Amino acid sequence: MIDGSPVVVVGGGLAGLAAACDLADAGAKVTLIEKRPFLGGRAYSHRDRESGTEVDNGQHVFLGCCAEYIRFLKRLGVWHKAHLQRRMRVRVIDKLWGESVLESAALPPPLHLLPSLLRFRSLTPREKVLAVYGFAQVRSIDREKERGLDEVTFEEWLRARRQSENAIRSLWNLIIQPTLNDDASRVSADLALMVFQEGFLRSRTGANVGSAKVGLTELLGDAARRYIEDRGGVVHEGATVEAIDAADGIVRVRAEGWEAVAGTCVLAVPPKELTTLLPSEIAGDPFFARLARIEMSPIVNVHLWCKRQVWDGDFAAFLNTPVQWVFNKSKLWGLEGEGQYLDISLSGAHEYAEMRGGEIVAMFAKELEVLFPAARGAEIKKSLVVKQREATFSARPGIAKLRPTQRTPVPGLFLAGDWTATGWPATMESAVRSGVLAAREVMKARGLDSVSPEVQVA
């Protein structure tokens, strides 16, 4: 058990919540401070007044390999509010070449992907053979020994292994764009290889797709608050932290009109926000100064409420169209009524982040009419464009050197966030892992053992 002295967690996103829950379980007196009037960070939802439905800020999915995130949902007692495929099955609709299905066959890994890969309509026979060769190369590479992988793009790595432009766009980028939130031409080969090794080649279940059956706030925020408070913790929502100071083993967190004093503080906020909270002498330390070089990548979601049903699928990926992924929220959430609620998710959405919402809606409504014949002439009752200009850190080459560990050079000050050194891309899994790792570092600093199962940094 931890010694009971106060621990302040700044930031109520997944990273902060995971850290707070671990520390509360260990007996710490946890105070969680979140500037927004709700918990969840970038994984939140709100009720749309006009439609009456919950609207997520973005379509958050997880995979079967996301062990810590799944464990977190079970820990909070909300696993029944999520759905995870028993085997991976993803419809891929190519505007030019028709529909394919990527699915896991009853074969040992990595052969479980072979049947659907050979049937993949978006690749030529030669590209399929070379794709099999590419997967073999991905599986065999030892990322620990190949230290230069973070210095080149995934596209460069693929081209060196005879992958064509079409194969990179239609197969490899199909996975990389949503998981790393950018194009294969911009992301680190090391992180991209990690995605394929962990998610698709290590086991038959690693790429099983999961999602919430309810809004994200109902799934995560409300349950985490109860979990922390039931263990004696205090949660402050709508409280803006103005400054943090750490000296002589004491951390002072100044918020609007009050101050929290503790021996330990876990900062679970975005990197740019973090450095503005610290005193200049701390923020200028090379450990923290490098955070200014972490770039961000945008995500845009286009929410459409159609007057009638236009598509019977649950979710699908798309090729040779601006549409990337479409999620049928009416079906995924079991919504009743004659209309249909669709969410179009656009990762690495640099070109859409500054475009006007009306233009975006018009563009994608027109695309849906081409992709879904039933959508032709269907009235869109309501639309909503949600832009997250700084949704995730940009996984560009060199990012590994910029991601800090959870323990900082300042005694009593620890970090959590999907952008810290977890070995994972900016996902919900990385966020939860960072919180667990931060809590473990707090306990190590106090000479105590962690109460959580071991988390391995990929």
CA distances to 1, 66, 409, 436 from 5, rounded to whole Å, are 11, 32, 21, 19
Radius of gyration of the chain (CA): 22
Q: What is the largest CA-CA distance in the chain?
A: 68
Give me the pLDDT at residue 1, please.
42
Spatial CB neighbours of 135, under 8 Å, sequence gap ≥ 6? 110, 113, 117, 196, 201
Give the least confident one: 28-37, 149-158, 418-427, 441-450: 441-450
What count of other Cβ atoms lies within 10 Å of the Cβ of residue 106?
Answer: 9
Six-digit token pair at 31? Answer: 């105070």
Give the least confident one: 155-159, 379-383, 414-418, 420-424: 379-383
Rounded to whole angstroms, the Cα distance separating 128 from 257 reads: 63
Rounded to whole angstroms, the Cα distance separating 255 from 276 reads: 14
Q: Which amino acid is at 97?
A: W
Mean of the pLDDT values across residues 325-331?
Answer: 96
pLDDT at 194 over 80: yes
CA distances to 95, 190, 290, 365 from 372, rounded to whole Å, are 10, 37, 47, 10
Mean pLDDT, the chain, rounded, equals 93
Which of the following CATH numbers is that of domain 46-66+210-214+296-393: 3.90.660.20, 3.50.30.10, 1.20.120.850, 3.40.1160.10?
A: 3.90.660.20
- Overall residue count recorded for the chain in this entry: 458
Q: Which is nearest to 305 in space by CA: 385, 380, 361?
A: 380
Rounded to whole angstroms, the Cα distance separating 450 from 447 reads: 10
φ and ψ at 10, to 5 degrees? -105, 115
pLDDT at 103 over 60: yes
Give me the pLDDT at residue 336, please.
83
φ and ψ at 200, to 5 degrees? -120, -20
Cβ burial 163-196 (10 Å sphere, 16+ → b, else e)? bbeebbbbbbbbbbbbbbbbbbebbbbbbbbbbb
**Which residues sit opposite 260 in a β-bridge?**
253
Strands ordered across the beta sheet of 296-306: 98-103, 89-94, 315-319, 325-328, 340-347, 296-306, 380-393
pLDDT at 457 over 60: no
Model confidence pLDDT, tens digit, residues 403-422:
999 999 999 999 999 999 99
φ and ψ at 222, to 5 degrees? -65, -40
Six-digit token pair at 230? Answer: 């039931």
CATH number of 6-43+216-294+397-445: 3.50.50.60
φ and ψ at 254, to 5 degrees? -100, 120
Q: Which amino acid is at 330?
A: S
| Confidence tier at 450 by pLDDT (50, 70, 90) | low
Which one is predicted more confidently, 251 or 163?
Answer: 163
| Confidence tier at 448 by pLDDT (50, 70, 90) | low
Give me the pLDDT at residue 125, please.
98
Rounded to whole angstroms, the Cα distance separating 458 from 206 reads: 14
Give me the pLDDT at residue 2, please.
47
Which one is predicted more confidently, 395 or 257?
Answer: 395
Six-digit token pair at 86? Answer: 């028993």
Give me the pLDDT at residue 258, please.
84
Q: Tell me which architecture the domain covering 100-204 has in CATH.
A: Orthogonal Bundle (1.10)
Rounded to whole angstroms, the Cα distance separating 287 from 291 reads: 8
pLDDT at 454 over 60: no
Q: Which is nearest to 366 in space by CA: 356, 378, 355, 348?
A: 378
pLDDT at 328 over 70: yes
Rounded to whole angstroms, the Cα distance separating 342 from 327 reads: 6
Six-digit token pair at 423? Answer: 């070995």
Domain coordinates in residue numbering, the chain: 6-43+216-294+397-445, 46-66+210-214+296-393, 100-204
Spatial CB neighbours of 51, under 8 Å, sequence gap ≥ 6? 305, 341, 381, 382
Rounded to whole angstroms, the Cα distance separating 179 from 66 reads: 12
Rounded to whole angstroms, the Cα distance separating 322 from 390 reads: 21
pLDDT at 4 over 60: no
CB 208 within 8 A of CB 86: yes
Give me the pLDDT at residue 207, please.
96
